[in-house]
Amino acid sequence: MFKTIIIIILIVILLSLTKGLHFLMKDDDQSRKMVRSLTIRIVLSIFLFLLILFGYWMGWIAPNHM
């Protein structure tokens, strides 16, 4: 379940990044749509990082030892 949440957040981050690129290339009226989509991406990236740290702290994920 934890890994599924991480994958979903990664997909949403990629969609937000793609949306920001689209607004950068196609938006002519200089609206704040690009800034908003990139802000969402940054917030989700920070949340994902904290979620991974929390999962490691709780023992839900562990590094692979070879």
Note whether residue 66 is domain-resident: no
Note whether residue 18 is domain-resident: yes
Phi-psi region of 28 (alpha: psi -120 to 50; beta: other; left: phi over 0): alpha
Q: What is the pLDDT of residues 28-47, one digit of tens each?
A: 666 777 888 888 999 999 99
Note whether residue 63 is domain-resident: no
Sign of CA dihedral 7, 9, 12, 14: negative
Note whether residue 65 is domain-resident: no
Question: Considering the entire predicted model, what is its pTM?
Answer: 0.77
Amino acid identity of residue 62, one-letter, is A
Note whether residue 39 is domain-resident: yes
Note whether residue 52 is domain-resident: yes
- When divided into structural domains, the chain yields a total of 1
Closest by CA position to 42, among listed 12, 22, 66: 12
Gyration radius (Cα) of the chain, Å: 16
**Structural domain of residue 45, as residue ranges?**
2-25+32-58
The pLDDT value recorded for residue 66 is 60
